[in-house]
């Protein structure tokens, strides 16, 4: 089977032609095929992530999914508009899309629960990904739906892989020490193996040391203390470098 090329993009980063293709396919499937009169362009696309799949050797879009980020009113990530173009159904592409999108959601919104307003006929499908029903079946635009939620798996995914890259928020929290012991452990494990994250982390640490230096400048009484903490930090960094170098077998 040909490889699928995935694209995970925010609305602003979607190419114009791709956006048109997405809207066209959504209308085709959700409005025409399902004979369902509803406004597909619901005004939520601008804040959403758009996940597309395309077969390597084919022009047309194969599959699509929309992901709404958590907001002030909603703690969960919401997944919706999952579709596979008509000619390619029953070949497991929907399942592949789900596997891939859940990875991306976990990377961008670690620990967040994921919600789906599923058509009831797809209940089993979503259950196989760990979603659980949290509502009675209800009617939406003439089609029976049910709300389902998959719990957040932050710490699990961290210790399990320990290998996924840290996102900006995690990196910041880590560099300031605002994270649990378990998280620290997982982050350190990752930093030892990922030079990219390691460099980002070092840059952040350097920056915060500079900032701290600035704050304490002029306060002669505190200067010695800041020097000492700088030295301590220096030692810590040296240890980290050594650990990293050893793990890469540089010595």
CB nearer Zn ion, residue 194 or residue 240: 194
For the bound state, the minimum distance from the C-beta of residue 198 to Zn ion, rounded and expressed in Å, comes to 8
Draw the binding track, 143-182, toward Zn ion (x: CB under 5 A; -: no contact): ----------------------x-----------------
Distance linking the first and last C-alpha atoms of the chain: 44
For the bound state, the minimum distance from the C-beta of residue 150 to Zn ion, rounded and expressed in Å, comes to 25
**Binds Zn ion (CB under 5 A): choice among 23, 194, 209, 240:** 194
> Any contact of residue 203 with Zn ion (CB under 5 A)?
no
Which among 33-41, 49-57, 63-71, 190-198 is the span making contact with Zn ion, rule CB under 5 A?
190-198
Contacts with Zn ion by CB under 5 A: the residue count is 3
Contact residues for 251 (Cβ-Cβ < 8 A; gap 6+): 245
Please write down the long-range contacts of 162-167, taking CB distance under 8 Å and 24 or more positions apart.
162/186, 162/189, 162/190, 163/189, 163/190, 163/193, 163/194, 164/106, 164/107, 164/190, 165/107, 165/190, 165/194, 165/196, 165/197, 166/190, 166/197, 166/200, 166/201, 167/107, 167/108, 167/110
Biggest distance spanned by C-alpha atoms of the chain: 76
CB nearer Zn ion, residue 49 or residue 174: 174
The DSSP element (H or E) to which 229 belongs, if any, is helix 220-247
For the bound state, the minimum distance from the C-beta of residue 192 to Zn ion, rounded and expressed in Å, comes to 10
For the bound state, the minimum distance from the C-beta of residue 194 to Zn ion, rounded and expressed in Å, comes to 3
Which among 67-75, 113-121, 169-177, 191-199 is the span making contact with Zn ion, rule CB under 5 A?
191-199
CB nearer Zn ion, residue 184 or residue 227: 184
The residue count for the chain:
251
Which among 7-15, 91-99, 150-158, 187-195 is the span making contact with Zn ion, rule CB under 5 A?
187-195
Distance CA 41, CA 11 (A): 13
For the bound state, the minimum distance from the C-beta of residue 196 to Zn ion, rounded and expressed in Å, comes to 5
Distance CA 159, CA 224 (A): 39
Q: Residue 113 is encoded by which pair of tokens?
A: 């629960």
Strands 132-133 and 114-119: unpaired
**Binds Zn ion (CB under 5 A): choice among 52, 183, 197, 201:** 197
Contact between residue 191 and residue 244 where contact means Cβ atoms under 8 Å apart: yes
For the bound state, the minimum distance from the C-beta of residue 167 to Zn ion, rounded and expressed in Å, comes to 10
For the bound state, the minimum distance from the C-beta of residue 162 to Zn ion, rounded and expressed in Å, comes to 11
CB nearer Zn ion, residue 18 or residue 194: 194
CA quadruple 210, 216, 220, 225: dihedral positive or negative? Answer: negative
Chain residues binding Zn ion by CB under 5 A are 165, 194, 197
């Amino acid at each position: 089977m040909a490889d699928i090329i995935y694209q995970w993009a925010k609305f602003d980063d979607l190419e114009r032609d791709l956006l048109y293709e997405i809207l066209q396919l959504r209308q085709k499937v959700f409005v025409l095929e399902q004979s369902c009169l509803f406004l597909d362009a619901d005004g939520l696309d601008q804040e959403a992530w758009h996940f597309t799949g395309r077969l390597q050797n084919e022009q047309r879009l194969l599959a699509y999914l929309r992901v709404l980020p958590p907001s002030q009113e909603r703690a969960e990530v919401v997944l919706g508009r999952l579709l596979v173009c008509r000619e390619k159904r029953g070949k497991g592409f929907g399942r592949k899309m789900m596997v891939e999108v859940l990875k991306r959601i976990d990377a961008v919104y670690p620990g967040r629960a994921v919600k789906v307003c599923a058509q009831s006929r797809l209940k089993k499908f979503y259950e196989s990904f760990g979603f659980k029903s949290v509502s009675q079946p209800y009617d939406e635009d003439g089609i029976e739906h049910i709300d389902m939620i998959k719990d957040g798996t932050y710490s699990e995914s961290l210790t399990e892989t320990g290998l996924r890259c840290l996102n900006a928020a995690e990196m910041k929290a880590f560099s300031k020490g605002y994270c649990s012991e378990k998280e620290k452990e997982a982050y350190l494990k990752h930093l030892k193996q990922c030079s990219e994250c390691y460099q980002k982390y070092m840059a952040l640490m350097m920056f915060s040391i500079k900032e701290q230096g600035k704050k304490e400048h002029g306060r002669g009484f505190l200067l010695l203390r800041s020097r000492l903490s700088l030295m301590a930090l220096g030692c810590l960094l040296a240890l980290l470098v050594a650990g990293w170098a050893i793990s890469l077998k540089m010595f």
